[in-house]
Structure 1
Amino acid sequence: MPAFQTSVRPAQSYARGVVLVALGMAVSSTIGLGVRAIDQATPWQILMYRSLGTIGFISIVLVIRNAAEFSASIRQLGPPAIVGGLGLMLASCGVIVAFHHTTVANAFFLVATAPFLAALMGAAFLLEKVRPEAWLAILFGLIGVAIMVGDGLSRGNIWGNIAGLIAAFGLALFAVALRWGRFTNLLVLALVGGCLTFAVATTATAVSGAGFSISVPDLVVSLAMGAFQLGCALLLITAGSPSVPAAEIALLGLVEIILAPIWVWLVFGESVGVLTLMGGATVLGAILFDTVSGMRTARKR
């Protein structure tokens, strides 16, 4: 994606970046609706066809924008795209494995450690300074997630916990790669992630013996999830990432945790508990606090 115009003030760029990333996370939060609509397909089958949807959608967008630029980008894949694609693959696969080997509460809580990992990685590899307010917001965001999953938090299976941490590491790696490659065509990064995820999911599906054949409705939903829930989300996130630090990109990812149960409640009537609402309010407050403090810091530059 091209860099923001120099005529745009830092505070305006930061605010626009936060809005775009938050919208991307909101779109991504609809994954629960897609999974609920699936009838018989296994998680690895879903992931395989969802990846195909993502690959097709992003490829079409890149070609429409500039076919020559797309070809050049593919021929000159750099470290940011490879690292970011690997992170996206680890996040996608890690979440699925975590849900199969531990409780949903454990999986969500472990994935929510991504902002801490992103902050550390951004500081170590990109030399980004993490604002004290951002650390405070991350802490309260984690507390909010803990409240949301408080009813079902348990030790869980060790392999599920490891998978959850791998997913968190993948999200943090993806966030850092977005910042690292801010002046490159970042959608190529998402395309690499989709291809890596497809390769892993296809291998897992073959090894599991489930086969590649699924019903037409499940296929349509899986492809739609890849194009909309992941493809459109990545378009928004990569558009906003150049002006938002890595730790805060991961922090904004907590928007997904807030909205995911709400979508399912609105469409499928699943109840949302009091703790979920309390925790969601805490996370939202942390995000708003971080956004306001970040804009104040940007105005002083």
Structure 2
Amino acid sequence: MKQYAKLIEQINKVTLKENIKLDEPMENHTSFKVGGPADILITPENPSEVQALIKICKENNVIYYLIGNGSNLLVRDGGIRGVVIKLCKINKIEVQGNKIIAQSGATLYDVTMVALDEGLKGIEFASGIPGSIGGAAAMNAGAYNGEMSMVLESTLVIDNNGELLTLTKDEMELSYRSSAVLKNGYTVISVTLSLQVGDKLVIKARMDELKKKRSDKQPLEYPSAGSTFKRPEGYFASVLIQECDLKGTCVGDAQVSVKHSGFIINKESATAKNILDLIKFVQDKVKEKFGVELSTEVKIWGEDK
């Protein structure tokens, strides 16, 4: 950690010491429950700290990464060199009429429960997505015929100059699992959702219906990062994988789920390499049989061991 001595000294002036962890195993911060150590992991407590931390990293030419809930992330076994900024403590949720303003670290579950409590509809599709609202906005997350583009009004971000910038829905350039945030490397600070007044009982019934669908069809009992692959144009990844007879295929403790072939799961003690090798195996088999290239929806960071 000698190479980070000056950096850590500066970071200590920005946030509390208990918010800074060195050599922190990323398996503790991802839903896959795998991943080697991050050199430095910081959990800032407000947007000003995030701005200051990004500025410090840039001034010191140290690469930095931002995560929310770590639910769409696979970290390699060698871990992450540089700084990981985890936004979980920046999670306030406010309601203004039919609008919800949620800071980036707020979980989708918490946002949807606030919407339910306030009798606001439109975000029910996200109630079972295991991620943060910031990550959902950045990748235009969706499920069950709904996606963030349907409810997002604006997004407050930190731009590449370290300044706060509000992006309208149009300026977000939302498309399938993509946005201006990802394209430009911005950092989401908060999201404003525009919802509709609805009947609480109807909203709750829809959320319960989707919860049951997820429980019945998805391997929620195992660590995973949700859908492993993006939907290729004109196809469904899970159907292609199933038609290659790959359900249940294992590399170590990484497995193509027997419940939903679009999910790769950590059965017990898989390594990131096990998961990556299985992803490559699935991609090769689908390409060989159908001529379709599957690209990963899950983000892959870090170094091999």
The structure with higher relative contact order (CA 8 Å, sep 6+) is: 1
Query: Of Structure 1 and Structure 2, which has the larger fraction of its residues in helix?
Result: 1
Query: Of Structure 1 and Structure 2, which has the larger fraction of its residues in strand?
Result: 2
Classify the TM-score, shorter chain: under 0.3
Of the two, which has the highest radius of gyration?
2
